[in-house]
Amino acid sequence: MRMLDLEAAGIGEGISEVIVTTKSAAGMPNAAPIGIITTVDDDGARTHQVKLYRGSQTLANVLETGTLAANVTTDAVLFVETAFDDLSAEYFTEFFGIPVLRKTTAWIIFTSELVEEKEVYLRFQLCPQAVKINRKEVKAINRGLNAVIEATVLATRLRISTEKREREEPRKELERYAAIVAKCGGWREREAMGMLKEKFLHGAE
């Protein structure tokens, strides 16, 4: 068996926040921000898993095709866009027949095997099939980028929860993230937070 080095492609131990791309049986591409869960056992063997939420297009596609791609990126805007919108066709290219995002730094193709069914999600074991590193870089930690990711997680959860009374506290939390972005972010983080605030306020109506 050929071993693929996912660590070099950015997928380390813990949860790697990536953009997962899939296609339907009919060939329609989809992209969504999802965490790849990597555990390392005592012998150093790595296991990759993913939880896909019921009702999501990613889950529907993975059930149809048994395949997904992890796109590694630190672009704040991509996380917000794929959390809320459908990306247009020009964002995508193909790698081993699977849609992937052109501007991301690495691609990993996984096949999936259903291992657990829960009320809100299905859990899959992932087996890496192909890896491509498009670009390596050096990037200092930016707290603005971190705040966009946390705010996206928050906004995604809010979309799932529909109770209005739950909205007051999250709104304050979003303001705290927005303040960190205003202080620490670059232009991509500011753009992402602007989009997120718009979605959030619109969604609250």
The site for a copy of itself (CB under 8 A) is made up of 8-18, 35-36, 38, 40, 70, 72, 74, 105-106, 133, 135-146, 149-150, 153, 183-187, 189
Q: What's the residue count for the chain?
A: 205
**Cα angle 192-73-7, degrees, rounded to a multiple of 5:** 150
Q: How far is the CB of 39 from a copy of itself (least distance, A)?
A: 10
Strand partners, 128: 110
Q: How far is the CB of 143 from a copy of itself (least distance, A)?
A: 6
Strand partners, 162: none
Give whichever of 64 and 116 is closer to a copy of itself, judged by the CB atom. Answer: 116
Q: How far is the CB of 100 from a copy of itself (least distance, A)?
A: 14
CA–centroid distance for 1 within its chain: 28
Give whichever of 81 and 189 is closer to a copy of itself, judged by the CB atom. Answer: 189
Can you tell me the distance from the alpha carbon of 176 to that of 19, in angstroms, rounded to the nearest whole number? 25
Can you tell me the distance from the alpha carbon of 201 to that of 29, in angstroms, rounded to the nearest whole number? 28
Give whichever of 14 and 97 is closer to a copy of itself, judged by the CB atom. Answer: 14
Q: How far is the CB of 101 from a copy of itself (least distance, A)?
A: 13
